[in-house]
Structure 1
Amino acid sequence: MAAHMDRIVLPGDKISDLKESETSKKVVLGPGLRTETEDVYACKPGVLKFKEPNVYWIDTHQKRYVPVKGEHVIGIVTQKAGDIFRVDIGGSDQASLSYLSFEGSTKRNRPDVKVGDIVYSRLLVANKDMEPEVVCIDSHGRSSGMGVIRSGGFLFKTSLNLVRKMCNPQCVLMKSLGNKFPFEVMVGMNGRIWVKGRTNKETVALANAVCAAEHMTNPQIKAMCHRLADALAGFE
Structure 2
Amino acid sequence: MCYIVQLPLSYTNTMDTVESAMHSCFKNKVGEVLLPGDRFCFGLGETDSKPLKVICGPGLRRNGDEVHVCKSGILRYKQPNLYWIDSQQRRYVPAKGETVIGIVTVKSGDIFKVDVGGSEQASLSYLAFEGSTKRNRPNVQVGDLVYGQFIIANKDMEPELTCIDSCGRANGMGVFGAGGLMFKVSLGLVRRLLAPQSEVVKDLENLFPFELVVGMNGRVWVKAKSLQQTLIVANLLESCENMSALQRQALFRRVVDRAF
TM-score (norm 1): 0.93
Q: Contact 1:172 / 1:222 at 8 angstroms: preserved in 2?
A: no
In the alignment, which residue of structure 2 is the partner of 1:197?
A: 224
SS of 2:119 mapped into structure 1 = coil
SS of 1:173 mapped into structure 2 = helix
- Counterparts of 1:56 and 1:63 in 2: how far apart (Å)? 20
1:12 to 37, 42, 47: 37
Report the residue type matching 1:12 in the other structure.
G
In the alignment, which residue of structure 2 is the partner of 1:127?
A: 154
Q: Contact 1:6 / 1:48 at 8 angstroms: preserved in 2?
A: yes
- Counterparts of 2:51 and 2:127 in 1: how far apart (Å)? 45
Computed over aligned residues only, the root mean square deviation of the Cα atoms, in angstroms, reads 1.7
**Considering only CA atoms, is the larger Rg found in Structure 1 or Structure 2?**
2
Q: Contact 2:105 / 2:113 at 8 angstroms: preserved in 1?
A: yes
Q: State the identity %.
A: 54
In the alignment, which residue of structure 1 is the partner of 2:79?
A: 52
Report the residue type matching 1:204 in the other structure.
L
In the alignment, which residue of structure 2 is the partner of 1:66?
A: 93
In the alignment, which residue of structure 2 is the partner of 1:225?
A: 252
SS of 2:39 mapped into structure 1 = coil
- Tell me the alpha carbon deviations over residues 24-61 of structure 1, each in whole angstroms, 9 at most, x when there is no partner: 63111111112344322111111122222111111111
- Across the two proteins, how many residue pairs are aligned to each other? 231
- Counterparts of 2:179 and 2:256 in 1: how far apart (Å)? 22
Report the residue type matching 2:189 in the other structure.
L
- Tell me the alpha carbon deviations over residues 72-107 of structure 1, each in whole angstroms, 9 at most, x when there is no partner: 100000101110000000011110000011111111
- Counterparts of 1:163 and 1:87 in 2: how far apart (Å)? 20
- After superposing the two structures, state which structure 1 stretch, 208-217 or 167-176, moved more: 167-176
- Tell me the alpha carbon deviations over residues 100-133 of structure 1, each in whole angstroms, 9 at most, x when there is no partner: 1111111111111111111111111111111111
How is 1:1-236 mapped onto 2 (pairs within 5 angstroms)?
1=24, 2-16=27-41, 19-20=42-43, 25-233=52-260
Q: Structure 1 stretches (4+) deviating beyond 6 angstroms?
A: none
Q: Contact 1:156 / 1:194 at 8 angstroms: preserved in 2?
A: yes
- Counterparts of 1:218 and 1:47 in 2: how far apart (Å)? 18
